[in-house]
Amino acid sequence: MLPKEQYARANGMMQMAGSASQVFAPLLAGALIRPLGLAGLLIIDLVSAAVAIGALLLIHVPQPARTEAGREGAGYFLKEALYGFRYIFARPSLLGLQTVFLVGNFFSGLAYAVLAPMVLGRTGNNELVFGSVQSAGAVGGVIGSLAMSAWGGPKRRVHGVLLGWFCGSLLGQTVLGLGQALPIWAAGMFLWTFFSSFIDASNQAIWQAKVAPDVQGRVFTARQFIAWVVFPVTQLLAGPLADQLLEPAMAEGGSLVPVFGWLVGAGTGAGIALLFVVNGLLAAMVGLGSYLFPIVRNAEDILPDHDIIAV
């Protein structure tokens, strides 16, 4: 529906809509929960979903022409379901890009899973501070998406992915761990989501340009599975890692306080803060270190655009 030169800008606009909803929806829900109650909010949720589905039913979505990739992936249900994985594994550059997300998401997800305990633990369960940190993240996503929509991202989109991972992890996730007060936490969360907009929009633009439209649904589903499969693992690991290892070690008089106390302090939440710092540095190295691999660094040159293949 769009020329490929506009993919990154359009993806930025789409992300802006999602980020904006995270800014305004919690505020609106908080204002309506008392007069309408939970049942009223659920009714609004159902009605809004029905409107969205109804709008889709009224819109004609043009179907892409069948390509060689589409014919190759056609067949029985299981074959079509697995085709996306076959497509990615047959193209090392696409697999390399998703490996960046797989590893980066592991380090980022491990920290993000315990963001709330860190902030609440270091503020005496101050929910207002935690809500403000989350709001700063939503605002960062909106502004990052606006910037991406206006600029369109770097000409070589792989830089938006790899440098986005580096900057977002170093300036966002690591700063969150170093902070011990709202201003630093808000700044870190803002920068984390700001650069995430560049990462996601640039990556989506690469895949939209390289993957034939008639197989994008299957390939993109497989791609998301590869990127997100680590999140259940991080949810399982983060709690025990923080509660049983890092928090006791960073408590007052803990074994790691003499080594890292100058960096993240000591006491409740300090162990999780150390987790943020370490994993932020590791995630940053994933982005920067990926430049060492030509199949990732030169992915846009190695893989031809799908419209060139069609010609």
Domain regions of the chain by residue span: 4-310
Say which DSSP state 118 is in: H
Q: What percent of the chain has pLDDT over 70?
A: 98
Q: How many CB atoms lie within 10 A of CB 107?
A: 24
Structure tokens at 211: 């993957």
Say which DSSP state 237 is in: H
pTM: predicted TM-score of the whole model, two decimal places:
0.87
C-alpha 197/C-alpha 140 separation (Å) is: 9
Structure tokens at 254: 């803990």
Instruction: Kindly tell me if the per-residue pLDDT of 193 is higher than 60.
Output: yes
pLDDT at 15: 76
Instruction: Kindly tell me if the per-residue pLDDT of 23 is higher than 80.
Output: no
Domain 4-310 has CATH 3.30.70: no
Q: Nearest 5 degrees, angle CA 14-CA 20-CA 23? A: 155
Structure tokens at 6: 């506009």
pLDDT at 220: 92
pLDDT at 311: 46
Say which DSSP state 27 is in: H
Q: Which of 26 and 103 is assigned the larger pLDDT?
A: 103
Closest CA to 147 of 12, 283, 3: 12
User: For all residues of the chain together, what is the average pLDDT?
Assistant: 89
pLDDT, mean of residues 286-307? 93
pLDDT, mean of residues 46-59? 91
Amino acid occupying residue 218: R
pLDDT at 114: 95
Which of these ranges, 59-63, 80-84, 162-166, has the smallest mean pLDDT? 59-63
Structure tokens at 270: 């300090």
**Phi, psi (degrees; rounded to nearest 5) at 5:** -65, -20
pLDDT, mean of residues 246-269? 94
Q: Which of 302 and 310 is assigned the larger pLDDT?
A: 302
Q: Which of 142 and 4 is assigned the larger pLDDT?
A: 142
